[in-house]
């Protein structure tokens, strides 16, 4: 198994995108990145913008290579966005790219209204239904049930 970290905060962008190779699979996890558009009233530093552009190219390359894409959740730093701001990964960059790739996600019933909209928008622009992996083992991949975290309520 080979694990490649593509983008993370310590590499200059928000998100955690990685690419995993096994003997039979090439899996892209959470193919999104985001820089705060006006985080604390400031635009991203030019160095962050340059890193963002480099990492977006890596995500596009790995999207092309992937057999499977896993979306852990639908926050803007984990997915390509249909209505991306200039510092987010725009879904238009991957339209028609690798149409046979399988995209796995959690049940939409566990999502907030904003996440449901993002999931629906992405599914529509890619012309692709997501496969629900939550709590299942399928095609050599095993997905957990949702994990309770944070305070109750």
Query: pLDDT, tens digit, for every residue of 67-121?
Result: 999 999 999 899 999 999 888 999 999 999 999 999 999 988 878 899 999 999 9
The three-class DSSP label of residue 89 is coil
What are the residues whose beta carbons fall under 8 Å from the beta carbon of 28, sequence distance 6 or more? 17, 18, 19, 59, 62, 63, 65, 66, 68, 69, 70
Give the pLDDT band (50/70/90) at residue 128. very high
Residues 135-142: what's their mean pLDDT? 92
Residue 142's pLDDT is: 93
What pLDDT does residue 151 have? 72
- What does the pLDDT look like over 21-62, one tens digit per residue? 999 999 999 999 988 777 777 888 888 889 899 999 999 999
The band of 152, judged by pLDDT with boundaries at 50, 70 and 90, is low
Buried b or exposed e, range 76-94, using 16+ CB within 10 angstroms: bbbbbbbebeebbbbbeeb
Q: What is d(CA 69, CA 130) in angstroms, rounded to the nearest whole number?
A: 10
- Cβ-count burial of 100 within 10 angstroms (0-12 exposed, 13-18 middle, 19+ buried)? exposed
Residue 153's pLDDT band (cuts 50, 70, 90): low
- Say whether pLDDT at 150 is over 70: no
The structure's pTM equals: 0.91
pLDDT of residue 133: 93
């Amino acid at each position: 198994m080979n694990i490649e970290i593509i983008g993370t905060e310590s590499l200059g962008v928000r998100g955690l995108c990685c690419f995993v190779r096994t003997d039979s699979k090439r899996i892209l996890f959470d193919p999104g990145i985001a820089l705060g558009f006006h985080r604390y009233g400031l635009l991203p530093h030019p160095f962050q913008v340059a890193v963002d552009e480099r990492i977006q190219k890596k995500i596009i390359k790995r999207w092309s290579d992937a057999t499977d894409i896993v979306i852990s959740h639908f926050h803007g730093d984990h997915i390509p966005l249909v209505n991306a701001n200039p510092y987010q990964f725009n879904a238009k960059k991957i339209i028609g790219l690798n149409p046979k790739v399988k995209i796995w996600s959690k049940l939409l019933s566990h999502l907030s209204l904003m996440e449901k909209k993002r999931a629906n928008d992405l599914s529509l622009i890619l012309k692709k239904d997501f496969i629900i992996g939550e709590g299942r083992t399928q095609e050599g991949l095993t997905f957990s049930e949702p994990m309770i975290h944070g305070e109750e309520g």
